[in-house]
Amino acid sequence: MSIFPLFPLFTLIAIAITNVTSFIPSPITSLSSNKLHTNPKLQPLFLSTSDEPTTTTTTTTSSFYALDPESTEAKSITSSLGITPAQHELLIDLSHLVVEWNDRLNLISRKDCTVNVVFGRHVLPSVALLPLLNLEGKEEKKKVVDVGTGGGFPGLPLAILFPSVEFTLVDSVGKKLRAVSDMADELSLTNVQTHHGRAELMVDESASLHYEQYDVCVGRSVAALPKFCFWVQDLLNQDDGKLVYIIGGEVEEVVTLRLEDDVPLDRLIGDGTSDKRALILSASSVKEVAKESGEKKQRVGVPGTKRKSNSKRKNREARGGWVKRDNAEKKQRGYDDFKRFDSGTF
């Protein structure tokens, strides 16, 4: 039997296979370039000695600033801030407690939530505020309010460093505050109390406790700063109160025009240790920013007063109300005068 008649068939099969394989996607690669990232700490991830495409594996931002709290570097950083070894141990304990609570409740990002991440990305930026607060040297006890505390930052680390200062940690999420309160108890922090609610309503709820009662307000990337200033404007002592706010992004011009200071946190705790910065505003500047925020205050009532009742409407008998029937009275019917006509008369 001749094989020549089969040649066209083999040719068609070969062509078909070639066409099918041409549609199989090739592995996706990422182009390396020295211009892809400007952060010097991330540059090694993008360096390439060739123009050929290469596949790279990058680390997450959260783990990038992780730091072992038991390391010599960590102890050196806290020591440079004047933090005692005993306080450093409490900061380590706090890091462990946050990880334990985060397994049950999403206090911080659940991705890469380790002791090293908590210490490097949350504890260290919080304690970096220590030299900016000026909480020493006043006879009466100072008060700090942490608005939008979330998992307890920066309030809990600062409460460890300032045991003689009263801290009020505020959040609108009750389950997070329960975790924060539990961690404060575990660390024996008697100078911490929590407030469940919204900061802008605290004065309406209790003016004597909150109106211009705080020396410092702290916050960490809670909201746009003009809106945040609107929330906290009535909480700060107008004589020498101030806002210290941790932020990582751009800042509105209405804020930058009134800043007292803008401090990169890695200037305080070491180069490359944080990508955040602390903004400082006086109490009067906070009010000015609040006025230009465009926010409107929603009053829930004047503190210390009760809602007036309308005495004229009280105990008024309802129209059409049911009354007890007197059977002795003759029933009133609408057809009492009705007369029947005999059909035969027509």
pLDDT at 193: 98
Chain centroid, CA 93 distance in Å: 22
b/e for 139-176, b at 16 or more Cβ within 10 A?
eeebbbbbbbbbbbbbbbbbbbbbeebbbbbbbeeeeb
In angstroms, what is the C-alpha Rg of the chain?
A: 35
Over the chain, what is the mean pLDDT?
A: 81
Q: Quote the tokens at residue 232.
A: 């906290």
Domain 75-291 has CATH 2.40.30.10: no
Q: Helix, strand or coil for residue 261?
A: strand
Question: Is a pLDDT exceeding 90 seen at residue 253?
Answer: yes
Contacts of 329 (CB under 8 A, 6+ apart): none
| pLDDT in the model for residue 109 | 80
Residue 188 pLDDT more than 70?
Answer: yes
Q: Which of 57-71, 99-113, 143-157 has the lowest mean pLDDT?
A: 57-71
**Positive or negative, the Cα torsion across 177, 141, 267, 286?**
positive
Q: Which residues contact 209 (CB under 8 A, 6 or more apart)?
A: 202
pLDDT > 70 in the chain, percent: 67
Q: What is the pLDDT of residues 309-346, one digit of tens each?
A: 555 555 666 565 566 666 676 666 655 665 665 665 55
Instruction: Report pTM.
Output: 0.70
Note the pLDDT of residue 344.
59
